[in-house]
Amino acid sequence: MIIVEEYGNQLNAGASLQCRGPRLQLDGNAAGCRPSGAGGSGSTGTRDAQGVWTPAQLTRLLTYTKQLGGRIAALEFMNEPTFAAMGGAPKGYDGAAYGRDFKVFRPFVKQQSSGTLILGPGSVGEAVGGEGVAYGGMELLPTPELLQATGPGVVDAFSYHHYGAASQRCGDMAPIKKDSVLGEQWLSRTDKTLAYYRQQRDKYEPGKPFWNTETADAACGGNPWGAQFLDTFRYLDQMGRIAKQGVKVIMHNTLATSDYGLLDGKTLLPRPNYWGGLLWHQLMGTTVLDAGASRPGFHIYAHTMKGQAGGVALLIINNSRTATTSLNLPKAAQRYTLSATTLESGAVQLNGRELKLGANDALPALTGEAVPAGPVQFAPTTITFLTIADAGNQNSQ
């Protein structure tokens, strides 16, 4: 999959998840994308002389994608329109201007690329309880104003971004302290963001599925511990939390850039979150099951087991720094426990063995350890997947 995003005044294209601006998901056999050549801060870019968005550059991208035999799966009009100025929108850009531009954008896409899903609004920075992340002194364009201007029923999925804080490199813009990142208040911030956007979705786009189209530990490139095992607790807990609340798609920012990249940007070696995401992908199916309520220091999520009819996969996060906890298994299972020598480590162990690439960058086999039915213990600051192949789960038959 290739992500391409288009700013209000320029087009950026690339073969990773780190581009900026209308975000395009490309699939098929497209090998890459090309910059339009017309972008840049000194050009008129994607707008006419009156500042109205035009589809000229998008037309070129659509044409190029088709020439490669690819397909644009989904598209957002603008990256984080709640802070439109950050994306290069003209001075004074407001809800009315967004609505005007969107009413050019949507019919064009539906006519020229009818199979493409339209996502929106792709907002960021808002949450219930006033815990949204501010971007310095930049004025926020509230999501209700955007949705009022576009009118109802105009997107195929309701998209939003979540950052619980801004990174240290952004100074005093809602930072988070390192010693707080295993705490319940920090881990639950994603709930407050989703709760706010659920209110807006229910009012303006009722019934539309949720897509989280950008998230990481912190805005502005992530904190240094975004590359450490310490952040893998948030990374996997967030997936469990919002999947349980009906979010259908989660996109991490980024693949290989800055502290929050899943790969080291220089060596391209996997970081702890990569291994956590790979295990999720290998084990967790797409149907969410009821695992009961989590409790402080012990979070549990259940899905159908991927590729195994009747199977169940559990994600168990012991985010306590001191307490061992246990769970009684009704049947035998396979266990996959992630741990590290220190929480600040950039290396992670699976069942006590460090995960690393093999010859020619081959991925290692992610194999579990058999555990019998009965009580199973989980050490402090560990993350465990359990798969029960013969659970008899009727939701995955």
Alpha-carbon span 150 to 351, nearest angstrom: 51
Examine the pLDDT at 11 and tell me if it is beyond 80. no
Residue 10, pLDDT score: 30
Residue 248, pLDDT score: 97
Examine the pLDDT at 3 and tell me if it is beyond 70. no
Residue 378 pLDDT level (bands cut at 50, 70, 90): very high
Arithmetic mean of pLDDT, 94-106? 97
Q: State the distance between the two ends of the chain, measured CA to CA, in whole angstroms.
A: 29
pLDDT in tens, 44-98: 578 998 889 999 999 999 999 999 999 999 999 999 999 998 888 888 999 999 9
Question: What is the chain's mean pLDDT, rounded?
Answer: 87
| Burial tier of 233 (Cβ tally within 10 Å: 0-12, 13-18, 19+) | buried
- Residue ranges with strand state E in the chain: 2-6, 11-12, 23-28, 70-76, 117-123, 157-162, 210-215, 247-252, 284-289, 299-305, 312-318, 325-329, 333-339, 349-350, 353-354, 369-371, 374-378, 382-388
Lowest mean pLDDT among 22-36, 244-258, 324-338: 22-36
Q: Please state the pTM of the whole predicted model.
A: 0.88
pLDDT in tens, 113-140: 999 999 999 999 999 987 777 666 688 9
Examine the pLDDT at 174 and tell me if it is beyond 90. no
